[in-house]
A and B are shown apart, each in its own frame.
Chain A
Amino acid sequence: MTKEKVVLATPAPGTGLPAAMLLCLPMMLITLMMLSRGNFPSEPASMLAFGATYFFVNGLFLMMIRTGNTDRWRAILFVTYAVCFVISFITHLIEARGSMALTESNMIEGLTPFCHVVIPMTLIPAALTKTIIFPGTLLGTKTAIASMFVLWIGSSLALGRGFCSWFCFFGGLDDGFSRLFKTARIRTIHPRWTYLPFAILLLVVLVSALTLAPFYCQWLCPFKTTTEYPEITSLKTALQAMVFMSLFVALVLVLPALTRRRTQCGLFCPMGAFQSLTNAINVFDVRIDPEKCRSCKKCISVCPSFSMSEDTLAKGKSALTCMKCGRCLDACPEGAIFYHLKGTPLNPKRAEVGRRLFLYPAYLFLATMAGAPIQDAIVKIIRLFTTGRLI
Chain B
Amino acid sequence: MRMEGFILGLSSGVLCAAACAPVLIPYLLGEGRGIALNAWLTLQFLAGRLFGYLVFGLLACAASLSLSTRGAHGDWIIGGAYVFFSALLISYGFFRQEASRRKSCFVNRCQKWIPVARPALLPCLAGLITGLSFCPPLMLAFAGAAARSGLGESLLYFLSFFAGTSVLFVFAPFAGALKRFPVARTVGKLAAGVMGVYYFYSGSMMILGGLLR
Contacts and interface: CB of A to CB of B under 8 A. Distances in A.
B22 interface: yes
Nearest to B192: A199
Nearest to A212: B18
A144 interface: no
B22 A199 contact: no
Contacts of B26: 199, 202-203
A62 interface: no
Nearest to A202: B191
Interface string A215-242: 0000000000000000000011001000
A195 B208 CA distance: 33
Given A192-B186, A198-B187, A206 B194 contact: no
B191 A199 contact: yes
Given A128-B14, A195-B183, A199-B26, A206 B190 contact: no
Contacts of B58: none
Contacts of A236: 205
B21 A210 contact: yes
Given A192-B186, A195-B186, A206-B25, A200 B18 contact: no
Nearest to B208: A235
B198 interface: yes
B195 interface: yes
A327 B40 CA distance: 48
Interface in A161-178: none
Contacts, number: 51
Contacts of A192: 97, 186, 190
B37 interface: no
B19 interface: yes
A196 interface: yes
Contacts of B25: 202, 206
A202 B191 CA distance: 7
Contact of A210 (B19, B186, B193): B19
A210 B13 CA distance: 12
B46 to A, nearest CB: 18
Given A202-B25, A202-B26, A195 B18 contact: no
Interface string A329-368: 0000000000000000000000000000000000000000
Interface string B18-60: 1101100110010000000000000000000000000000000
A311 to B, nearest CB: 12
A192 B194 CA distance: 14
Contacts of B29: 202
Max chain B C-beta neighbours (<10 A), residue from A200, A203, A206, A236: A203
Max chain B C-beta neighbours (<10 A), residue from A207, A209, A210: A210
Contacts of A195: 183, 186-187, 190
Q: Which 9 A-B pairs have the closest CB atoms?
A: A199-B190, A199-B191, A210-B18, A206-B22, A198-B187, A195-B186, A202-B191, A199-B187, A195-B187
Given A192-B186, A195-B183, A199-B188, 11 more contacts: A192-B190, A195-B190, A196-B194, A198-B190, A199-B189, A199-B193, A199-B194, A200-B194, A202-B25, A206-B21, A209-B18
27 contacts: A128-B14, A192-B97, A195-B183, A195-B186, A195-B187, A195-B190, A196-B190, A198-B183, A198-B187, A199-B26, A199-B189, A199-B191, A199-B194, A200-B191, A200-B194, A203-B26, A203-B191, A203-B194, A206-B21, A207-B22, A207-B198, A209-B18, A209-B21, A210-B15, A210-B18, A210-B21, A210-B22
